[in-house]
Structure 1
């Protein structure tokens, strides 16, 4: 803040641009205290002298008040600047200090890392294994990723995989009711419809239901607590089946966006399971695709959008049996693994029970 020119010229005789306000104050104080009364004042008598002395006192009082006022102004400005700097910085929190002791401290939101996109992002060609039949006991597969059942495995299993340098995807059905799951009692009867063909005890659910979404949110939270790096929500393509509900690609997109938001909020990655019709709308938001038998159904080309973005397509084709000690016969392997549309996919051959056995393409 620049002081009035009058202050500088009367106090120090210098210019307003080169003088220091504190020096000006010191100079004024010294001049006021030490300078003798001018000679012409000493020879004035009577009223004239009293008037001169009164003017002298008034002048002294004026400059004193002005000096004190300016000091006060500078003090207030200094305090204001200091507080402003504090407000714009994050104050250090000592080990014994709580948030209540510092009103400027705010805990970060739960989904900070998710919102910033720091969740796991695998790349094209990442090797994987999928075991859903039972709790995982065989850790010998030389792969980077394991896809395992959310309910069949304990945190110790996930921790062990992490110790081995593996990432863990946790599988659950997001589009069906399964009567053998531990949370099956949470499903309301009017929220599940017709059975999935070939899967006794499993029924399609209404993915628009707030109750169903709440159950799936709890499952995603369970995956986070288990330590999973990502989730594999199955059966989200109910629009292709006779479910008993008016499901469509529009309702599926809405549902997937909900699952994506919930997963990312907990720093979990999420993949698109099958649902070729949704690849174009979901490939930007999801971190990979898990595809079953795209070669058999002649739709591998529809999933290439993920590969084009550097994201993996975790692809599995099912075979009738494991074959001999060398695996399935060459002609079967060539038929399922030699499709050019699947180049760049992370392709496996598995039996449909999804046990330990696996053969890479």
Structure 2
């Protein structure tokens, strides 16, 4: 599936906004600190087309290719933080950089039309491609990145990927984001959370309630990091109480990830 020097009243306004959006500079006092979303933030996840800004929430997660710098700026003017969705685990034949991927890194279809798993062992090949994608997110003004398909080692990719391969690749992805001043979320990959939580600023999860796995996300919340979570088939009455207890930012969405949302 899928910040400036201020004084007086302006400073107080900025600090209030930081509390609302979960922004923190860790006490460093530096300008434009990397965003660090805190547990409990409400969010909107829309990957189907250009963003509709109508949801009254502080965080939006939208497609990095399908939305422009103007779309991101509009959300910023409304006080939103904006996450850039980018696929890092599969090649997509509908992306403008599709020809940048050599055939040697293309594996089996992953079940989504036009997509094939990537050979994440070839980090020297994939790193510059992902760097350019994250450059796009930075240049459009995004605050963070949601890198998708970070658990290829657990799937039939066509390559003999190991857990160690996945750890090395996911840590590389986190480093690429941080080098650009972007926050980065760990997408799914629950078994490797203990080894990766310190590298990532938040988590994005699909269907942990469906599979009775939500407790595995607790290390993020315990570290003061948001967990943005969706379910597709569960009733809210079946997962919202647990989500509140665990500190997850949960909502019900349709699998196509359009505008509709039903939050806890």
TM-score interval for Structure 1 and Structure 2 normalised by the shorter chain: 0.7 to 0.9
SS of the aligned residue for 2:237 comes to helix
Q: Conserved in 2, the CA contact under 8 Å of 1:207 and 1:213? A: no
Deviation at 1:343, TM superposition (A): 2.6
**Cα distance in structure 1, aligned partners of 2:39 and 2:113:** 35
The answer to whether the aligner puts 1:288 opposite 2:191 as a matched pair is no
The number of residue pairs the alignment matches comes to 235
Counterparts of residues 158-173 of structure 1 (less than 5 Å): 158-173=72-87
The answer to whether the aligner puts 1:205 opposite 2:135 as a matched pair is no
Measured on the aligned residues, the alpha-carbon RMSD in Å equals: 1.9
The answer to whether the aligner puts 1:346 opposite 2:249 as a matched pair is yes
Task: Specify which structure has the higher proportion of helix.
Answer: 1
**Cα distance in structure 1, aligned partners of 2:98 and 2:61:** 22
Deviation at 1:341, TM superposition (A): 8.4
The answer to whether the aligner puts 1:127 opposite 2:58 as a matched pair is no
CA offset digits 1:330-349 (Å, max 9, x no partner)? x9221132336863100010
Match of 2:238 in 1: 335
The equivalent position to 2:171 in structure 1, one of 257, 261, 285, is: 257
Match of 2:13 in 1: none
SS of the aligned residue for 2:199 comes to coil
The structure with more radius of gyration: 1
Higher relative contact order (CA 8 A, sep 6+): 2
Match of 1:301 in 2: 215
**Cα distance in structure 1, aligned partners of 2:106 and 2:96:** 16
CA offset digits 1:258-291 (Å, max 9, x no partner)? 1111111110000000000111111112110000
**Cα distance in structure 2, aligned partners of 1:194 and 1:264:** 30
Match of 1:58 in 2: none
Unpaired segments of 5 or more residues in structure 1? 1-112, 320-330
Deviation at 1:163, TM superposition (A): 0.5
TM-score normalized with structure 2 length: 0.85
CA offset digits 1:94-151 (Å, max 9, x no partner)? xxxxxxxxxxxxxxxxxxx9x9993110111011100001111x21211111000010
Q: Conserved in 2, the CA contact under 8 Å of 1:300 and 1:341? A: no
Match of 2:152 in 1: 238
**Cα distance in structure 2, aligned partners of 1:340 and 1:348:** 9
Counterparts of residues 1-361 of structure 1 (less than 5 Å): 118-136=33-51, 138-197=52-111, 199-209=112-122, 210-319=124-233, 332-339=235-242, 343-361=246-264
SS of the aligned residue for 1:211 comes to helix
Task: Specify which structure has the higher proportion of strand.
Answer: 2
**Cα distance in structure 2, aligned partners of 1:340 and 1:159:** 31
Deviation at 1:217, TM superposition (A): 1.1
